[in-house]
Copies of this chain bind each other. A is one copy, B any other.
């Protein structure tokens, strides 16, 4: 199902950008799990719009409401339904584009799939706002994983041509990412990255970026062969974030250029633990976690909504025309995608962790 994912820890998302709300129902939360509204809110706040001059100015409080599945602060074993309401909805922008699909957006494909009456305002359920649902589910997943010693994290490693070169420790990421508005773990690079965004914004343009995610504390043996390999599952989740156009693991795309002797990670002893010397495999062998950190890169395209005039077509008259997209958009959506990647990774991994608890 396209709005549901997960075999045991399963989420079903619902809502629209300019409708009543965006929400999620999470099945598979073990009874007794502590569900703290404030910690869910804290995760939501990380992706909330309107927090900085380089993100969208849409003002949303994004206050989580918990509708089911929780009794006296604990999961009761039933589905946990949570939602945030849409408050700052200005659909006036969208009349302009009713018949002139925005380049790079889902406007045209949605029209074909769902008919011309489809609710195009704010992108409907194609909106990036749907990722708030992932974050609410992910907040619970992160909590459950943490109790098992597993953590997910994410950070911006590149915007346009500016790239973080420094080797970053897990601690660098955990400490720095949410302390700056670029979601960057290398504090020396923040100004350069911001400059890229500001330049694009000033020109009415937008810019792409790269996010690295890591999963640490994951024991070896998690993940399944073939269709539910760690990579299969994680990539499916990642590509459900609008704007993601590439996902790789460890050496990733670079593996195509490498020799086996270089790419293979030698097994060595670290005390009495078997580890690998390098981590080109990104913590995954045969689809199954090796015990090394899982490392994944996620490429985010530039926000398609830009104020620079673009060529499009009027679907009614079938005439080419020019479009200048109005509205309040993020000049670099990669930034706000960081907590989404982090939370969604947690959902993916938790489902595999739960499945691993039977396979023995």
Contact = CB atoms under 8 A, between A and B. Distances in A.
Q: How large is the interface on A (under 10, 10 to 19, 20 to 34, 35 or more residues)?
A: 35 or more
Interface in A2-27: 2-5, 7-8, 10, 12-16, 19-21, 23, 25, 27
Oligomeric state, in copies = 4
B226 A13 contact: yes
Interface stretch (A56-64, A98-106, A165-173, A183-191): A98-106
A207 B157 CA distance: 27
Interface in A200-252: 200, 205-210, 220-221, 223-229, 231-233, 235-240, 242, 244-252
A9 to B, nearest CB: 9
A313 B252 CA distance: 25
B311 A268 contact: yes
Interface stretch (A44-52, A111-119, A147-155, A174-182): A111-119
Contacts of A79: 3, 12-14
A132 B318 CA distance: 46
Contacts of A244: 231
A130 B128 CA distance: 32
Contacts of A161: 257
B113 A301 contact: no
Interface in A28-71: 28, 30-32, 66-69, 71
Given A21-B68, A357-B357, A78 B16 contact: yes
B110 A264 contact: no
A346 interface: no
A27 B1 contact: yes
Nearest to A76: B119
B76 A16 contact: yes
A221 B2 contact: no
Contact of A200 (B8, B259, B282, B356): B259
Contact of A31 (B31, B118, B319): B118
Interface string A253-267: 111111111111111
Most buried by B among A66, A126, A246: A246
B109 A285 contact: yes
A272 interface: yes
A126 to B, nearest CB: 4
Contact of A245 (B5, B228, B250): B250
Contact of A240 (B20, B227, B290): B227
A16 B310 CA distance: 51
A313 B268 contact: yes
A2 B320 contact: no
Nearest to A81: B14
Contacts of A358: 8, 28, 30, 354-355, 357-358
Nearest to A79: B14
A359 interface: yes
Contacts of A106: 225, 285-288
Nearest to A75: B114
Closest 6 CB pairs of A and B: A106-B286, A246-B248, A2-B224, A206-B260, A104-B264, A71-B119
